[in-house]
Amino acid sequence: MPRVTTVLLRARKAIQELDLLKVLQSEISHELSSNRFQKDESDSSGDFVLDWDSPHSQDVVLRKKCASGEEVAVSALLGHDTSQGDGSFPRDALIKICIKKPGLNSLLQFDCVASGKGGNQFDFDIQNANYIHSPSCLGSSFYKGPSFSSLDPDLQHELKQYLATRGIGEDFINFLVLHLHRKEQGQYVNWLHKLKDMMGEHE
């Protein structure tokens, strides 16, 4: 009887693992056949160049150098799921934009959020516009500026225009959020494959 019990337990375990493999394969097939995030993104990053886009990390970094000599760096990653199941792009993009003028140590840093508003369009909100005297003044005790929402509406508008003239406009934000979601989807599919391979090693 003990031997029969052992055989039955092994058979049950094998069936459970087979069911898991089937579900994993189904999820992989679903993700690969899905048309989510497949909008053409060619050339939509404007003059920005991808400086960091490791398949093992969640963030990306893009850079450009303006004709004036200004340097613009953009780092971004996806935040938490905020769609509650009804959004084409379920996660906000958390974006930092740094602008440095030639010959100066100081820089402007904008903390921003881009969120889907339907289709392939996104709301782009600036949370903070920080003046940083130098890279060594990044501690929390340094005054960097007020919250963006407390600024005069005209000043808010002009700061958004300031970013737009440096390439941080609607097309760029659309590209960035789409790229981040495609990156995350690829990482998810890769994770599913690794899990499936691990579960199937002893089959």
Specify if 131 maps to a domain.
yes
Domain that holds residue 29: 2-36+189-199
pTM score of the predicted model: 0.81
Per-residue pLDDT of the chain (203 residues; tens, 9 = 90+): 455 455 445 545 655 667 788 888 888 888 778 766 665 554 478 899 999 999 999 999 999 999 999 999 999 999 988 765 455 778 899 999 999 999 998 999 999 999 877 666 788 999 999 998 877 666 666 788 889 999 999 999 999 999 999 999 999 998 999 899 989 988 988 888 888 888 776 55
Q: Are 31 and 54 members of one domain?
A: no
Specify if 42 maps to a domain.
no
Phi, psi values for residue 83, rounded to 5°: -85, -20
Give the angle subtended at the CA of 83 by the CAs of 79 and 88, to the nearest 5°: 100
Q: Are 102 and 138 members of one domain?
A: yes
Element holding 125 (H helix, E strand): strand 122-132
Q: Are 54 and 100 members of one domain?
A: yes
What pLDDT is attached to residue 1? Answer: 46
What pLDDT is attached to residue 201? Answer: 65
At 133, the amino acid letter reads H
What pLDDT is attached to residue 7? Answer: 44
Distance (Å, rounded) from C-alpha 183 to C-alpha 158? 32
Domain CATH for 113? 3.10.280.10
Q: Are 23 and 7 members of one domain?
A: yes
Q: Are 178 and 114 members of one domain?
A: yes
Tell which residue, 159, 155, 167, has the closest CA to residue 73.
167
Q: Are 131 and 98 members of one domain?
A: yes
Distance (Å, rounded) from C-alpha 153 to C-alpha 155? 5
Q: Are strands 122-132 and 49-52 parallel, antiparallel or unpaired?
A: unpaired
Specify if 19 maps to a domain.
yes
Specify if 10 maps to a domain.
yes
**48 in Cβ contact with 76 (< 8 Å):** no
Q: Are 172 and 88 members of one domain?
A: yes
Distance from chain centroid for Cα 167: 18
Q: How many domains does the chain have?
A: 2
| Buried/exposed code over 88-125 (b: 16+ C-beta within 10 A; e: otherwise) | ebbbbbbbbbbbbeeeeeebbbbbbbbbbeeeeebebe
